Amino acid sequence: MVLYPGTLNLRLDSEYSLPARVIRLEAAEYGGRVSVSIVPCSVRGRKAFLLRTDANENGSGDHPKTIIEIATDVRLRDLYQLQDGDSLEVTIDPEWSTVTELSQRSFPDSN
């Protein structure tokens, strides 16, 4: 899957911590500035990935643990005509986590 160059940021009702099993993408592997943990998920049946930087996971990053970033092959905001404050359900692939559904209520700082 070729990812859309941007993420949809979602604000959750409670903090979310990454599961023990994640896919790692080190900064050097993609020429970036930060390393990222990735968890397969879906949004309305569309394959996607939950992304979180190491700094955000350990509490020293730009986003609190109530914010998750979702990447997929399209701009989700346009595809689903999402507005700030809309609800959207993200389903974590059950092979990757015991938490399988996340609900959010807003889209702060989204692309």
State residue 101's pLDDT score: 56
The answer to whether the beta carbons of residues 47 and 65 sit under 8 Å apart is no
Model pLDDT for residues 14-45, shown as the tens digit of each residue: 999 999 889 999 999 988 899 999 999 999 99
Q: Which domains does the chain have, with CATH numbers?
A: 8-106 (2.40.30.30)
| Residue 104: DSSP 8-state | E
